[in-house]
Structure 1
Amino acid sequence: MEHIQRLEQEIDHLKKTLQEKENELFEMKRNWMPMQSNGIQPEFTTLYSRNENNVTKVQYGDKLPKWAIERYSRQILLPDIGVAGQEKLCNSKVLIVGAGGLGCPAALYLAGAGIGEIGIVDYDKVDLTNIHRQILHAECDQNKSKAESAAETLKSINSNIKITPYTIQLDSSNALDIIYKFDVILDCTDNVPTRYLLNDACVMAKLPLISGSALKMEGQLTVYGYRSERNINEKDVYQGVCYRCVFPNPPPAETVGSCSANGVAGPVPGVIGALQALEAIKLLVGHTHDKLLVERFLIFDGDEVTFRTVKLRSRDLNCPVCSENPTMTKLIDYEVFCKAQAKEKDLDLQILAPEYRINANQLNEQLRNNFNTNQRHLLIDVRSEAEFNMCRIDGAVNYPIEQFRDAKVDEVLKMVNQNSQVTFICRRGNDSQLAAKIVLDEVDEDHKSRVKDVIGGLHAWSENVDRNFPVY
């Protein structure tokens, strides 16, 4: 163990040294070439190449140096980008909020495209469960800041651009100060409060917001808050719909899924994140709103491998944020507004009264006593069948919460009324409360004390009873 800790410390030291050297190299490159801070030469470049017979005049574009032409040539060849478009990309600043399944592929392609500066906001640290989809992080990055891990990888991909990590949680006290520094914002988050925060901040800053989401085998993408006055290629005045126009009220917290609770196939956020980068590139080089996902909602179905777009509702002329006379002129407390926390990966619902809840140690003691005394006790695991097959407590039965109704509920009610103890358990202690409440609402008052759920679920079981039980 001592040897492992020593190696870990040595590796951390080497990583810090490497980062310092990479920063030093970046500064040397920037100072060595007569360029602006974004890496683009301010003047037309004319060089002369001599061969045996004559002197040939060589011109390297309008403002692009030789290395930029060579590096970005494959996208410069596209008529919709060209030299002028590449100059715009190299002079642009993009902020990515969330260095997870969406933010990683988006950042990867934006760095490859030569975006002048990429900002990355993420308060979280790299976990082993992230790596199957968050492709900027590796096993050696566990417990490291996601923003810093992503920044290090991006620097190794393109040393000619600036990467700015923000290892903070974005909230109403700091959002505008950060957002004002950038041209385009990418919402790569996984929670509702931050979505409303980013929308309102972008509307106030008059910046476009490219919003993506991914869960299970599905992904979604659209562009909010587009304004024609920022694009010289637009002929008419035009303002796109904002997030509040489409979703004026937040959904109930318990109805919002997450990758940690519901799962996600790694390539799905990869697809959406790559498309977020594509929309950002198109927007920055000057595509008009009819060629962007403005007031259109892209839906990707990974099961059937299909894409479809649906038209969003028109912009709300009475929207409290983006209308001509907004009633919201400053950022609010979005966790209060959404009745949900922005930082939690998993909900911590409080549905049942304390008398209907037990902790993991109490469950363990109860199971032992029931075994010794042959008392009737039913432990019901309400996770999905796939989760149940991954790991479970011996003796538990699987009644997935999605199927817990009608005959299954009647079966449990019959057991409770026959003096059996019934305890519900799930991964984190949320779905188990929902299942227990279904039974408690139906069971006779005299038998309610026999219905319980486990606080903290199987995570608490692993932490307090069986350390070998997998946490996922």
Structure 2
Amino acid sequence: MDRITSLENEIANLRRTLQEKENELYELRKEYTLQQTNTEAFNLNPQSNANNVFKTNMGDKLTKLDIVRYSRQILLPDIGVTGQEKLCAAKVLVVGAGGLGCPAAMYLAGAGVGQIGIVDYDKVDLTNIHRQILHTEADQNDSKAVSATKSLRSINSHIKVQPYNVQLDSTNALDIASRYDVVLDCTDNVPTRYLLNDACAITKLPLISGSALKMEGQLTVYGYRALKNSNEKDQSYIGPCYRCVFPTPPPPETVGSCSANGVAGPVPGAIGCLQALEAIKLIVGQTHEKLLVERMLLFDGEDMTFRTVKLRGRNANCAGCSEQPAVSQLIDYEAFCKSQATEKDLDLNILPSFRRISPPSLSRYLTEGEDLQHTRPLLVDVRSAAEFNMCRIEGTVNWPSDSLRGGRLVELLDEVRRCARKVVFICRRGNDSQIAAQAVIDAIEDPHKDKIADLKGGLHAWSKEVDNNFPIY
């Protein structure tokens, strides 16, 4: 154990040293680029370089390095020199350095967007790396915002990347967003979507919103304003905001997450890349007809199909973006949506404490019953079949909570009645198990109620307190 601790400390020190050296390299590269730009300006000035009979004409704001580096996209008529100059001057805020934010930020950095802000409160976890491609195994437990910033600087050391290692909320969203021209919503929860929408409505910024779950993805642009684009014929046009399309939040139980429902890594990768493309098109001056304004792109990875659906237009009485909005300042969005804005474990308290068994207590309970198999407690795992097949406590039976209705609930009640000892409900974090246990308590006769309990803290607590080999996911 001492050797492990020693190695961990040594690795931490090496990482700090590496970070310092990378920061030093980043600053040196910036200084070199500035010197190179000044040298180019000197060489292109006939008065300061009278012996040079040739003169090279370039864009007013692009350096030789810019032209070489971004030439492949400058060749596109839709971008050109003017568009590249706009990209180099643009400031884009990417909220979320996860499955969507990583590819989006990578391509924005590659395209030469002058300033990129990265907002993320979380730390890199091993479960992230299969889809969050700016992070590596060496970045585990580091700030996602800092890790992403480090990777982006290695991709393009000539742009400015600003990490914000904070939880975006009503106290800081306006201040951070107002420093940028475009905002990318690369988050995965409803409260932050409403927060970003309202912040962008107040600051009159376009919001490029993406989402991905399981094998599906979505993408659209909210809050577009033609007044900021000289290429628009109708300068009064304003696209719908998120509240125009979704005036009220969905029920929390209907909203999935990658941690609960899973996601195939390339799905957020595809949507994130397309978010970057929409940002580039918007920055260079594409009109709203060519952007995903009043339209939503739907991607289905199972059959590899893309389709675009029409969204409702701007609501003249919208609470967020109308001429006299009801929401003129940011509110408590977790309370408004009745759900969390983070993936931190919920700590529901549905069952009374006497019905909750700690992992060590359950372990002792199982050990005592080893010689009397017929008297062992009944362990009911209410996770999905996919989760149950992935890992489980030996001897548990799987009754997915989604199936506990009608006839399936009747079957479970019969099994509970037949059990001579405790019936312990188990889930991932100790929340769904309480819901399932309470449903059985409400439906079963009084003589059987006392035997029902749940595993406090779920399998995460079991892994931490009893069996370190049990995987946390």
Q: CA deviation at 1:417?
A: 2.8
Matches within 5 A, 1:253-332: 253-332=252-331
Flag the 1:184–1:399 CA change in 2: closer, same or farther, 3 A.
same
- Please name the residue that 1:459 is paired with: 460
Report matched runs for 1:22-101 at 5 Å.
22-34=25-37, 56-101=54-99
Q: Distance in 1 between matches of 2:17 and 2:64?
A: 33
> Which segment is superposed worse, 216-225 or 253-262?
253-262
| Identical residues among aligned pairs (%) | 62
Unaligned runs of 5+ in 2: none
Q: Which residue of 2 aligns with 1:383?
A: 383
For residues 428 and 351 of structure 2, the distance between their equivalents in structure 1, rounded to whole angstroms, comes to: 17
Matches within 5 A, 1:139-218: 139-218=137-216
Distance in 1 separating the partners of 2:277 and 2:265: 19
CA distance in 2 between counterparts of 1:364 and 1:3 reads 32
Residue 9 (str. 1) matches residue 12 (str. 2): yes
Quick one: distance in 2 between partners of 1:464 and 1:286?
A: 56
Question: 1:407-426 alignment to 2 at 5 Å?
Answer: 407-420=407-420, 421-426=422-427
Displacement of 1:252 after TM fit? 2.8
CA-to-aligned-CA distance 1:41-75 (integer Å, 9 cap, x gap): 99995789x9xxx9544322343111111100111
> What is the identity, as a one-letter code, of the residue corresponding to 2:309?
V
Q: How much has 1:360 moved relative to structure 2?
A: 1.9
CA distance in 1, matches of 2:68, 2:310: 40
* 2:357 equivalent in structure 1: 358
- Going from structure 1 to structure 2, the CA distance change for 1:6 and 1:171 (only over 3 Å counts) comes to closer
In the alignment, residue 464 of structure 2 is paired with which amino acid? E
Could you tell me which residue of structure 1 aligns to residue 245 of structure 2? 246
- Do 1:64 and 1:87's aligned partners in 2 also have CA atoms closer than 8 Å? yes
CA distance in 1, matches of 2:199, 2:209: 14
- Give the secondary-structure state (helix, strand or coil) at the position aligned to 2:82: helix
Instruction: Establish whether residue 428 from structure 1 lines up as the match of residue 429 from structure 2.
Output: yes
What displacement does 1:4 show? 1.3
**AA at the equivalent of 2:26:** N
Q: How far apart are 1:20 and its partner, in Å?
A: 2.9
Task: Report the secondary structure of 1:441's partner residue.
Answer: helix
In structure 1, the partner of 2:116 is 118
Tell me if structure 2 keeps the 8 A contact 1:45–1:60.
no
Structure 1 equivalent of residue 398 of structure 2 = 398
Which residue does 1:371 correspond to in 2?
370
Q: State whether residues 96 and 186 of structure 1, in contact with CA within 8 Å, keep that contact through their aligned partners in structure 2.
A: yes
Q: TM-score, normalised by structure 1?
A: 0.92
Give the TM-score normalised by the residue count of structure 2.
0.92
Instruction: Give the 3-state SS of the residue equivalent to 2:133 in structure 1.
Output: coil
Separation in 2 of the partners of 1:6 and 1:315? 55
Instruction: For residue 328 of structure 1, report the CA deviation from its aligned partner.
Output: 1.5
Q: What is the CA–CA distance in structure 2 between the aligned matches of 1:430 and 1:113, rounded to whole Å?
A: 44
Q: Write the distance in 1 (CA, Å) between the matches of 2:116 and 2:44.
A: 27
Q: Does the Cα contact within 8 Å between 1:123 and 1:169 map onto a contact in 2?
A: yes
Secondary structure, counterpart of 1:118 in structure 2: strand
Alignment-derived partner of residue 341 in structure 2: 342
1:379 Cα deviation (Å)?
1.0
Change in 2 beyond 3 A, CA 1:459/1:9:
closer
Matched letter for residue 320 of structure 1: A
1:444 corresponds in structure 2 to: 445
Aligned equivalents of 2:225 and 2:345: distance in 1?
A: 35
Q: Aligned Cα RMSD in Å?
A: 2.3
Higher deviation after alignment, 96-105 or 406-415: 406-415
**8 A Cα contact 2:103 2:269, kept in partner:** yes
Contact 1:352 1:433 survives alignment (8 Å): yes
Structure 1 range deviating more: 56-65 or 447-456? 56-65
**Alignment map for 1:96-107 (pairs within 5 Å):** 96-107=94-105
Distance 2:123 2:68 in 1: 36
Q: Distance in 2 between matches of 1:382 and 1:43?
A: 71
Q: What is the SS of the residue equivalent to 1:371? A: coil
Is the CA contact 1:423–1:452 (under 8 Å) kept in the aligned structure 2? Answer: yes
Q: Which runs of 5+ in 1 are unaligned?
A: 36-40
Residues 10-44 of structure 1: CA deviation (Å, up to 9, x unaligned): 42232133233123214413541457xxxxx9999
